[in-house]
Amino acid sequence: MRREIRLPLTASGRLDRALADALGLGRAAVKRAFALGEVRVRGRRARASDPAAPGALVELDVELPAGPPEPEPDAPLSVLLERPRYLVVEKPAGVAVHPLAPGEGGTLANAVAARHPECAEASPEPREGGAVQRLDLETSGCVLFARDPEAWEALHAQLGAHTVDKVYLALAVGRLPAGGVCSVPLAQRGGRVVPAPDVEAEERLQARGLRPRPAETHYEPERRFADHTLLRVRIVTGVMHQIRAHLALLGHPVAGDALYGGAAAALPGLERQFLHAWRLAFDDPDGAGRVAVESPLPPELEAVLARLPAAR
């Protein structure tokens, strides 16, 4: 929805925060407008970190915020771990974690809300329905939901401190002889991210109003095939599309990932990207020690591996 607003004369601080306050919207909706490059001040594209200019005319495309997920009792839900203050559930490929628009259904959060309505009150953004982290639409695996606001804050703080272990299984195109680390910063541009492999690239992106974020991806070969490598991937940070972009940058895109791998990533019989959130480990918010949850590889991905020619 296209909006035009004049900032109040008392506006101060960062532009994104001043806009959220002036519009009466959650910061997630405003943040997304900046990420898509849809915010202009006096006709020029603006950045979220720009200082708010009192009285400035701001134009932006902003999505109406979704409310709490509507419970869907008939939606399937597989719970991997249930504790009094949180849940870890299985996300199938093709199912979004939570709604993005009012009235949207069919998400994981809709199914969770039907069985555990308290989750809908746990997250600051109502649309998240208590989800502490997110996965791409076509990525399957572990998703953590909080059951009360204090648990959400405690678990989300662990994400910010990089103490949550997030381990994925990814089928990469080509043969990787050894593991390694990719730490190239990534900047969001529309619905994808672009790498900033050196200072010059980072400066060019910043000049276009994009902000490269630190991203660190560790990978180790788990199983080798003739033309592919199954990797165990651990991400320290949580940038959008991080694994997909980093592996593509290394010349080994995720199988089935047309966005970053193009035709080279295609694999007969694979109808989705081969990326699965296999393991999630974090500290119990009540101090009950370290918690680790694993999600088995879905049958359709196991079937893909079974069809691959063995390494020669």
> What distance in Å separates the CA atoms of residue 167 and residue 101, rounded to the nearest whole number?
29
Q: Collapse the DSSP code of 224 into the 3-class scheme (helix H, G, I; strand E, B; otherwise coil) and give the result.
A: strand
Token reading at 85: 């203050």
Amino acid at 159: L
136 is catalytic: yes
Distance separating alpha carbons of residues 112 and 80, to the nearest angstrom: 12
Tokens found for residue 169: 């299984």
Please give the Cα distance from 122 to 229 (Å, whole number).
39
Do 194 and 216 meet the contact criterion of CB atoms below 8 Å apart? Answer: no
Which of 282, 277, 310 shows the shortest CA–CA distance to 294? 277
- Among 106, 26, 22, 30, CA closest to 70: 106
Q: How far is CA 59 from CA 30, 143, 282, in A?
A: 12, 35, 41
H helices then E strands: how many in the chain? 8, 15
Q: Measuring CA to CA, which residue among 238, 178, 188, 183 is closest to residue 211?
A: 188
Catalytic, out of 16, 50, 74, 136:
136
Cα gap 1→62, rounded to integer Å: 5
Best CA proximity match to 175, nearest among 228, 231, 249, 219: 228
Contact 209, 220 (CB under 8 A): no
Amino acid at 255: A
Q: Please list the active-site residues.
A: 136
